[in-house]
């Protein structure tokens, strides 16, 4: 039996999932969060689906061992290839980011032509076209793998000529296809959002919307907890976010402090 005062478990390959944590804290201020970043094996998006499933299972099992009341997969690559397997193997509700992202894209498109920037793993899985097709028969997804954006975000090269040229190259096929929405189909990409947005407006079209799945995911998690009476009715005490990584906790702490906007306390390290 899950308890409403248990924490939410959130995991990602690295630091990208913090974009989802930020949205969860805004939508669900009463909740405690245990975040696991698999920094020893980042990136996931360039790897094969069997490998990603194996890594995702080890992350998820660790969080289940921490008695979380639900698991949020804050990683598009894992959400694209692993959620069914996690649901079969684990006795805890599992929520991903692909469905909320697809829903946000459908809400934003007028023409039905949706562009998705994501990792090679996510694009290859066809998870976005499948999710969109389940919600609408009048929309079409144009996917573009963008493998260099994760290393750029992880290195903090988020402005200047290099990321600009990289983003421009990845946007070209989406501009040719005439999309009117660009989905940031990887939770790392919002770290590059100002640059991506300005390039989308300059190169794809000034009317083109950029959407990410963080807010849509947080709203889904909120609805889910309310429906199951699993939302924490009382404000949580201090230290509402616990951060755990598989490598380099100090580096992660610096980035996380900057990213979540306040001091994040110690970052723990575990060996999976």
Contact residue for a copy of itself among 12, 31, 99, 154 (CB under 8 A): 154
CB-based contacts of 155: which residues, under 8 Å, 6+ apart?
A: none
Say if CB 116 and CB 184 are below 8 A apart: no
Angle, alpha carbons 86-224-182 (nearest 5°)? 75
Q: What tokens were used for 23?
A: 């949205």
CB-based contacts of 227: which residues, under 8 Å, 6+ apart?
A: none
Instruction: Count the site residues for a copy of itself by CB under 8 A.
Output: 24
Report the distance separating Cα 83 and Cα 148, nearest Å: 25
Contact residue for a copy of itself among 155, 229, 262, 263 (CB under 8 A): 155
The answer to whether residue 186 is catalytic is yes
Separation in Å, CA 39 to CA 60, 100, 121, 262: 15, 25, 18, 21
Question: Is 147 near a copy of itself (CB under 8 A)?
Answer: yes
Going residue by residue from 236 to 255, which x/- string records binding to a copy of itself, judged by CB under 8 A? ----------xxx-------
User: Kind and range of the H or E element at 108?
Assistant: helix 98-108
Looking at 59, 75, 176, 236, which residue is catalytic?
75
Where in 14-43 is the site for a copy of itself (CB under 8 A)?
39-42
Question: Is 188 near a copy of itself (CB under 8 A)?
Answer: no
Axis-axis angle for helices 18-27, 214-227 (nearest 10): 50
Question: Is 231 near a copy of itself (CB under 8 A)?
Answer: no
Where in 84-123 is the site for a copy of itself (CB under 8 A)?
none
Smallest separation (angstroms) from a copy of itself to the CB of 236: 31
Question: Is 124 near a copy of itself (CB under 8 A)?
Answer: no
DSSP characters over 126-144:
THHHHHHHHH-SS-EEEEE
Q: What tokens were used for 131?
A: 């999710």
Question: Is 4 near a copy of itself (CB under 8 A)?
Answer: no
Report the distance separating Cα 55 and Cα 49, nearest Å: 10
Applying CB under 8 A, the span of 92-100, 108-116, 148-156, 176-184 interacting with a copy of itself comes to 148-156
Going residue by residue from 156 to 175, which x/- string records binding to a copy of itself, judged by CB under 8 A? -x---xx--xx--x------
The answer to whether residue 75 is catalytic is yes
The residue among 75 and 104 lying less far from a copy of itself, judged by its C-beta, is 75
The residue among 7 and 163 lying less far from a copy of itself, judged by its C-beta, is 163
Positions that interact with a copy of itself (CB under 8 A) = 39-42, 46-48, 50-51, 147-148, 151-152, 154-155, 157, 161-162, 165-166, 169, 246-248
The residues annotated with a catalytic role in the active site are: 75, 186
């Amino acid at each position: 039996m899950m308890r409403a005062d248990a924490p939410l478990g959130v995991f990602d390959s690295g630091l990208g999932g913090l974009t989802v944590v930020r949205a969860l804290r805004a939508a669900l201020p009463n909740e405690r969060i245990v975040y696991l970043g698999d920094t020893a094996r980042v990136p996931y998006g360039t790897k094969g689906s069997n490998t990603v499933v194996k890594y995702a299972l080890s992350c998820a099992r660790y969080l289940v061992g921490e008695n979380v009341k639900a698991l949020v997969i804050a990683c598009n690559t894992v959400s694209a290839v692993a959620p069914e397997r996690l649901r079969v193997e684990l006795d805890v509700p599992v929520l991903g980011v692909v469905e909320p992202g697809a829903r946000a894209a459908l809400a934003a498109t007028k023409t039905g032509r949706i562009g998705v920037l994501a990792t090679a793993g996510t694009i290859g899985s066809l998870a976005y076209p499948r999710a969109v097709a389940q919600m609408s028969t009048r929309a079409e997804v144009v996917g573009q793998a963008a493998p260099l954006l994760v290393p750029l975000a992880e290195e903090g090269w988020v402005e200047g000529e290099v990321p600009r040229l990289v983003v421009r190259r990845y946007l070209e096929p989406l501009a040719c296809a005439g999309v009117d929405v660009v989905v940031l189909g990887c939770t790392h990409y919002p770290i590059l959002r100002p640059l991506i947005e300005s390039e989308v407006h300059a190169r794809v079209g000034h009317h083109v919307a950029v959407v990410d799945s963080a807010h849509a995911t947080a709203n889904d998690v909120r609805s889910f907890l309310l429906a199951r009476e699993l939302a924490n009715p009382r404000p949580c005490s201090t230290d509402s976010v616990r951060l755990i990584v598989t490598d380099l906790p100090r580096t992660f702490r610096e980035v996380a402090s900057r990213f979540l906007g306040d001091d994040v306390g110690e970052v723990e390290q575990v060996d999976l």
